[in-house]
Structure 1
Amino acid sequence: MKWSRAVRHVEELAARCGEVASLPSSIHPLRVVRLWAAGDVLGTPRDLERVTVAVVVDLPVDDVPWLSEPQGAEHWANATRMSRNPIRALWRSAHAPVWNHAIDRPALVWDAVDGTAEETLAALAEGRGEDVRLPAPGADEFRARLRDELAVSLRALRRHTRAYEEKRWSPGKLTAVSDALWRVGDGYLDVLDAVERDA
């Protein structure tokens, strides 16, 4: 996809974040509070396969382990049309830093208080993403973030493994439970690899 289209996807998603946030929680109980641009769209203009964003939700950290999807994520993605576009969403809790080993110095695009960050969108359109990114963490801060992320992922892996064991021989479909287990397992291994690379 062309660079201008990629940035347009981010801009449209930011607008829809605001629209959905204004609806009652009875319609959309999953409360998204911030949207960050991440990855290639923060670089120099070129064709991209997809856009990566970090979607920050007002849920406890343990409810949003790395590479998982919180309850209501699919409904929210459909409501914002994110699921119909070449966008990779990385779900994050509002109660921990948005950045980690894979979300490197993201740029805030929208938040529930101030709305769309027009200066960020302008910078992305001009290929100046570097100007609006978060500062890089120090080495100690980075290692501490990885340790915290790994601990959250391990707790999630244990929790979802138990849920799978309980559901395994029960009547009904197993897909939702097995998919959730796969996601947290993948997230745990991804963070573990990052910890080992940093060691």
Structure 2
Amino acid sequence: MKRSRALHHLRTTAETCADMATRPQSIFPLRVDQLWAAGEILTPADEIDTVTVALVVDLPADDVAWLTEPHGSQHWANAARLQTAPVTIRWRSAAAPIWNHALDRPVLIWTVTDGIHEEALAAIADDSDSVRLPLPSPDLLAERLADELAVSLRALQRCTDTYTERRWRPGKLEPTADALWHASEGYLDLLNAVDRG
């Protein structure tokens, strides 16, 4: 898609986050507190495949391991109509840093307390990196990846145990199998990043 269209989708996602924050917690117990932009939208590319965003939720880091989906996230994303938008969601915990090897120097776009950060959207539109997080040192990146890998391994172990327990029980196995697949994908992605590091 054209860069201008990608910027439109980023703003729309921020407006959607603001709208979802006003909806009853009894219907949407998962609360998104922050929206960060990452990936191609932060480069000067004229054509962008997808808008990568990090949605931050107030859950422990172990409940939001890399590439996993916290409980209630599909319900939230469906209501926000993000499942059909050209947006790639990365769920993140407020209890850990947002950035990692894939979310390289992300930009804060929206918070539940401060609303949309217009200066950040303007800087992205102008191809300015002034609002991006600072580049981490190699040691800091290695430490971050080690922390994420440990969280991801615990998630993979939990999901494997759940799958083993549910494997032969009656009922749909798909949600359990999907959770195991997401945990596996996240762990392998981090393991590859550590090996490349």
- Cα RMSD after superposing both structures: 0.9
Q: Which amino acid aligns with 2:160?
A: T
2:75 and 2:90 mapped to 1: Cα distance? 15
Tell me which residue corresponds to 2:87.
Answer: 87
- Partner of 1:82, secondary structure, is coil
Q: Which amino acid aligns with 1:151?
A: A
1:170 and 1:28 mapped to 2: Cα distance? 29
Q: Which amino acid aligns with 1:173?
A: K
Structure 2 gaps of 5+ residues are: none
Note the 1:25-174 alignment, pairs <5 A.
25-128=25-128, 130-174=129-173
2:119 and 2:70 mapped to 1: Cα distance? 29
Q: Which amino acid aligns with 1:73?
A: S
1:92 and 1:40 mapped to 2: Cα distance? 19
Q: 1:35 touches 1:53 (CA, 8 Å); kept in 2?
A: yes
Tell me which residue corresponds to 1:23.
Answer: 23
2:18 and 2:34 mapped to 1: Cα distance? 10
- Partner of 1:132, secondary structure, is coil
User: What is the count of residue pairs matched by the alignment?
Assistant: 197
Normalising by structure 2, we get a TM-score of: 0.97
1:75 CA drift (Å): 1.3
State whether structure 2 residue 180 is matched by structure 1 residue 181. yes
2:45 and 2:125 mapped to 1: Cα distance? 8
Normalising by structure 1, we get a TM-score of: 0.96
1:67 and 1:97 mapped to 2: Cα distance? 15
Query: 1:23-48 CA distances to partner (integer Å, 9 max, x unpaired)?
Result: 22112110101100000100114011
Percent sequence identity is: 55
Query: 1:75-132 CA distances to partner (integer Å, 9 max, x unpaired)?
Result: 111222211211000110000000011100000000111110001111122222x121
